[in-house]
Amino acid sequence: MIDAQEVTRMSVDDRLVLVEIIWDSIALDSSDLSVSANQRKELEERLARFDANPAPGSSWKDVRRRIESQL
């Protein structure tokens, strides 16, 4: 098993690969993941809002400009 000290000694690139491997392994077992009633309600509300107004959101250019203006 890999411990935290081993991970911190890895390069950033190697750690990103490790995260990708872990994420992919979780995705394969996604049927084991559960969604709480509150999470399900939130997802349903978001989907309803999207269905009511499916227009695309802001462009990255606009989002970045808003973020940078707040810095």
What are the boundaries of each domain within the chain?
4-69
Residue 28: per-residue pLDDT? 87
User: What stretch of H or E contains 38?
Assistant: helix 37-52
Q: Give CA separation, 12 vs 8, 18, 24, in Å.
A: 9, 10, 18
Amino acid at 9: R
Rounded to two decimals, the pTM is 0.46
1-57 confidence digits (pLDDT tens) = 889 999 999 999 999 999 999 999 988 887 778 889 999 999 999 999 999 988 878
Residue 42: per-residue pLDDT? 97
Whole-angstrom Cα distance, residue 32 to residue 18? Answer: 21
Amino acid at 29: D
Residue 19: per-residue pLDDT? 96
CA 50 to chain centre: 19
